[in-house]
Amino acid sequence: MEPTKIQAKVRIPRGKFNGINAVADERGIIAAAAMDQRGSLRKAISKAKGSDATEAEVIEFKVLVTEVLTPYASAILLDPEYGLEAVKHRAKQAGVLLAYEKTGYDASIKGRLPDLLPEWSVRRLINAGANVIKILMYYDPDDTEQINTIKEAFIERVGAECRAYAVPFFLEVLAYSDEIGDESSLAFARVKPSKVKKYMREFSQPQYGADVLKVEIPVNMRYVEGSKANPDGQLPIVGTRPSSTSARRPLLRVCPSSTSAPVSETRSSSRVWSWLPKPIRPSLACCAGGRRGRMGSPYTGKVGPRHYGDG
């Protein structure tokens, strides 16, 4: 799919412009490799080797992945906890995105509240080599006003910090529902497109300062007609309804341009898609199913059971 072309002419700080160009290729496309997993990666390495993975082993893994993948990527997404050595081993043309959030979340507190790495700031991340600052946050647009206000204020603060240092802010939001629970279930698949659309509308507003929204695939491919993830149509199809012939009439189908709808819908009222001048041509960045957990909460001072996803 050709990237969406933006016609609006809007001035942006030189630092943000240079930072986005640093993580884009010669065509203005951001084709970054992600290697900022921490808790889930350490668990995976531990499982593979049959014993607890050491910090040195996680660092070495990130270095090796960076060396192998960055010759083919426009940038590498890393974390300052295990990834700073890998920054030194990236290919010459590859830019650097650094994660600012803690990994995991406190499963004992409702809402999957976000938290920042306490030893780091935007200034420190820039000094460590970041061209772009990235935040991952879980968000349910249908959650309580109290929980969502906390998260929205959190993103406003990060956006303001990035604005102060004129560095691009990439925001990755993941939809969830505590009410439904299982995010791989048919019940969640039915509501996921709506939740993704709602959070795109919310966080593309200017007060958050997000320069790029990293958006997950808004459907669960296990419940999409004709997808390889739905073997022989054995799983239910999202949006099906009975017809007069008793045949299923799927309402959700995949087509080559299916991911373009959120872009065009958001673009009309969003600086996320409209404020980047040429040569930057932003496209919808999709996260193909990885889920990362978060840990701790800045609002209680407590750290409960760690939860990590498989992303």
How far is CA 81 from each of CA 44, 46, 139, rounded to the nearest angstrom? 17, 18, 24
Side-by-side strand order, sheet with 75-78: 32-34, 75-78, 95-99, 132-139, 169-175, 212-216, 285-287
- In a 3-state reduction of DSSP, which class is residue 173? strand
Contact between residue 82 and residue 104 where contact means Cβ atoms under 8 Å apart = no
What CATH number matches the domain at 14-218+259-292, 3.20.20.70, 3.10.129.10, 3.20.20.30, 3.40.470.10? Answer: 3.20.20.70
Contacts of 169 (CB under 8 A, 6+ apart): 132, 133, 134, 135, 158, 159, 162, 163, 209, 210, 211, 212
Terminal-to-terminal C-alpha distance of the chain: 25
pTM of the model: 0.74
Where in the chain are the domains?
Answer: 14-218+259-292, 221-258
Digit-by-digit pLDDT tens for the chain (311 residues) are 555 554 556 678 999 999 999 999 999 999 999 999 999 999 999 999 999 999 999 999 999 999 999 999 999 999 999 999 999 999 999 999 999 999 878 888 899 999 999 999 999 999 999 999 999 999 999 999 999 999 999 999 999 999 999 999 999 999 999 999 889 899 999 999 999 999 999 999 999 999 999 999 999 888 888 888 887 667 777 754 444 443 443 333 333 333 333 333 332 222 233 233 333 333 333 333 333 333 222 323 333 444 544 33
